[in-house]
A and B are shown apart, each in its own frame.
Chain A
Amino acid sequence: MSDRVAAGGEPKPTDINKTVPFRGRGFNPQPLGVIAPVVFVGLIAFWEVGSQTGFISDLVLPAPSEAFEAFLQLLETGMFWKHLSASLQRLVIGWICGTVLGVIAGMAIGLFSLARAALAPLVSAIFPIPKIALLPLFIIWFGIGEGSKVATILFGTFFPTVISTYGGVDNVDRNLIRMGQSFGLSWSSIVRKIILPGALPAILSGFRISASIAIILLVAAEMIGAEFGIGAYILLAGSLFATDQLIAGVAMLSVLGLCFAWLIGRAEKYFLDWRA
């Protein structure tokens, strides 16, 4: 080998001496802050231009500007706040009740053999049922007013929360629980100081899923007997084929979803800053 190195100097890459090829590229997604807005704006600009030039027919898809006008109209008439507050109220009540009950049930399943034996199969059996299919039942049980709407969202968010919570409890490091016992910590201290924080990452990622499910179910719940609400607005627009209003409503839902995701992201940053 040594005779291939030029005497007295550092070896230089030539056709015999090559630098070692770099093979460690990829599989390491980096946050690229500018890309998302660029894609977003680009897509909407393309859509707008397509509509203006007639490349996208008005019948197929209204221009974004038209949808925006529909939104402005909603703002001017003051209906926006009525729809938004009605929807938010249902979402927040349903989601909070569903997740609180879900976390409690999930903790019970994670901690007690009896609860696990009794509830875990039940949860697996009911989770896959589309809650929309149960809406008529909810209306009979809870009335056509707010009750059935909140109940739909509550049921929809309850089950995924149960599953993520007890999955989280099951995954808490057994050695940490052993440690707590070996230092004579009380049962409630072990649950509060070891199991709950240990399960929190799983619980919070369950919140992400249940928040999306809540928004999906909102539209379904507002299908019947709702005067106000973003879902009701979308459905009315749909039945009148007012596609500009429909797009405006869907965009509102999407923004709502982004807001929830952002809030949960903040909560994760705050509660899980101990993770790398």
Chain B
Amino acid sequence: MDLHLQKISHSYDDVEVLRGIDLEINQGQIVCIVGPSGCGKSTLLRFIGGLERPSSGQVIQIGEPPTGSLNPLTYIFQDFALLPWRTVWGNVSLVLEDHGIKGSAAEDIISDVLARTKLTEFKKALPRQLSGGMKQRVAIARALAVKPAVLLMDEPLSALDSQTRELLMDDLVDLWLREGFTACYVTHNLAEAVRLGHRIAVLSRRPGQIRDIVEIDIPLEDRPNRSGELAGKQQQLWDLMRQEALAADKELLDV
């Protein structure tokens, strides 16, 4: 299943947030979206998942989601969004209950996703007992449980410390190598973008427009060994963003 964003523009009251965004998210690819703060990245992601509607333009779903996909467009949030009154197990089971999956069928799925995210021994823990990195792994397990066609991630690692971030990024790479999921990954961290992204869309400052799309055709598994090339890509991204970030900063000062 592919997603095509067509001419998406949006304004909140009189604030124009996004202007004419065209973007393709193809199956099996990770598309990263980077851009200065406040340029509308989170807003764009909410449009892609159907949590909000743009003022104009549309998101087209091309092809059917794979059979068995319970929730084709699935989010992973920056703040984890776990229910604090449910255990790790209960948080995953929450998203299955509404699809009528109960009993042993649910148990199989939950044990499977918890094993894949290395959380099996924490299944009875409450969110407040977990570190940030583990909370985000629970959120990833929950997302995997509904067999998503596209994962929508809004700065999933930016609430974490840098060591945890590295570890979780490796986990994500492993996961992609095993399952080849499709994802749209919003971040302001260029290192994350070049580590994970097949295509990286750079947004301009508000109103967000696509300044450029940088393609990285180094396979994900080879990237740790080819850091020189990646550094070049990261520099290229930074050059694109730098002017935007500077200009965005000035704008805020003018207000």
A residues near B (Cβ < 8 Å) are 173, 175-176, 178-179, 181-186, 189, 193-194, 197, 274-276
Contact = CB atoms under 8 A, between A and B. Distances in A.
A179 B85 CA distance: 15
B95 A183 contact: yes
Interface string B67-97: 0001101110101010111100000001101
A208 B75 CA distance: 39
B49 interface: yes
B132 to A, nearest CB: 15
Contact of A274 (B70, B74, B85): B85
A175 B74 contact: no
Nearest to B148: A183
Nearest to B46: A178
Contacts of A179: 75, 77, 81
Interface of B: 49, 51, 70-71, 73-75, 77, 79, 81, 83-86, 94-95, 97-99, 126, 128, 142, 146
**Which 6 residue pairs across A and B have the least CB separation, nearest first?**
A179-B81, A274-B85, A183-B95, A182-B75, A197-B85, A185-B98
Contacts of A197: 83, 85
Contacts of B99: 184
Given A189-B97, A274-B84, A274-B128, A183 B79 contact: no
A194 B83 contact: yes
Nearest to A272: B85
A193 B90 CA distance: 11
8 contacts: A175-B79, A176-B81, A178-B77, A182-B74, A184-B71, A193-B83, A193-B94, A197-B83
Nearest to B49: A182
Contacts of A184: 70-71, 98-99
A276 B75 contact: no
A193 B97 CA distance: 11
A59 to B, nearest CB: 56
A274 B142 CA distance: 19
A276 B126 CA distance: 10
Given A183-B94, A274-B128, A275-B84, 4 more contacts: A175-B81, A176-B83, A183-B98, A183-B146
Contacts of B85: 197, 274
B47 to A, nearest CB: 13
Given A179-B77, A181-B51, A186 B98 contact: yes
Nearest to A276: B128
B94 A175 contact: no
Contacts of B83: 176, 193-194, 197
Nearest to B87: A274
Contacts of A178: 51, 77, 81
A178 B84 CA distance: 15
Contacts of A189: 97-98
Contacts of B49: 182
A271 to B, nearest CB: 9
A274 B127 CA distance: 9
- Chain A CB within 10 Å, residue with most, of B73, B79, B84, B146: B84
Contacts of B77: 175, 178-179
A276 B130 CA distance: 12
B155 to A, nearest CB: 13
A185 B70 CA distance: 11
Contacts of B86: 274
Contacts of A176: 81, 83
B84 A183 contact: no
- Chain A CB within 10 Å, residue with most, of B70, B73, B85: B85
Contacts of A276: 128
Given A175-B81, A179-B81, A185 B128 contact: no
A174 B86 CA distance: 17
B35 to A, nearest CB: 21
Nearest to B84: A274
A190 to B, nearest CB: 9
A275 B142 CA distance: 22
A183 to B, nearest CB: 4
A276 B85 CA distance: 11
Nearest to A185: B98
A184 B142 CA distance: 13
A274 B126 contact: yes
B128 A183 contact: no
A227 B75 CA distance: 64
Contact of B95 (A175, A185, A275): A185
Contacts of A173: 81
Nearest to B91: A179
Nearest to B95: A183
A183 B128 CA distance: 22
B152 to A, nearest CB: 8
